[in-house]
Amino acid sequence: MTGPVRDSQRMIREMAPRRRPGRWVFASLPEADPRAPALAGRALAVMREPEGLSVVISTEEARRPGLVAHGPVMAHLMLGVHSALDGTGLTAAVSETLAAAGIPCNIVAGCRHDHLFVPEARADEALALLRARAERGG
């Protein structure tokens, strides 16, 4: 197994975006809500903010009473490159590419990969654009 990639040009060339299964929404609830720990345990991603928990959860999970969903149903795209947390340029390249096409994108970094959430209706277009960007390089 190779280590993380730091070189921006290489990260872009090797981003290898792919769609992960599921339909996702961003939702929130107060951290003091007694359901918060269980919801956080079932979420794909969790961020503690001053206003409460923000979570990325399945559309099925979002149907639970008391949750406030924000924005459209999203597709989850994962970049295959093991990008270094201190690497630069990949997020900018992704954002620039999708913004030029008017595709909203929310990026969550994991320890090894970047995870993109784009409106489900535009997921195929986003994948095609990112793959073309990888072919062009940085």
How confident is the model over 78-95, as pLDDT tens digits?
999 999 999 999 999 999
| Cα–Cα distances in angstroms (integers) from residue 81 to residues 17, 22, 23, 44, in the given order | 8, 21, 23, 20
- Asked if residue 3 belongs to a domain, the reply is no
- Asked if residue 123 belongs to a domain, the reply is yes
Token digits for 57? 């959860």
- Asked if residue 85 belongs to a domain, the reply is yes
Q: Alpha-carbon distance 31 to 38, whole Å?
A: 11
CATH of the domain at 45: 3.30.2130.10
Q: Domain limits at 100?
A: 8-136
- Quote the number of domains for the chain: 1
Q: What is the pLDDT of residue 1?
A: 55
- Asked if residue 2 belongs to a domain, the reply is no
Percent residues over pLDDT 70 in the chain: 99
Report pLDDT digits (tens) over 36-52: 888 888 999 999 999 88
Q: How confident is the model at residue 130 (pLDDT cuts 50, 70, 90)?
A: very high
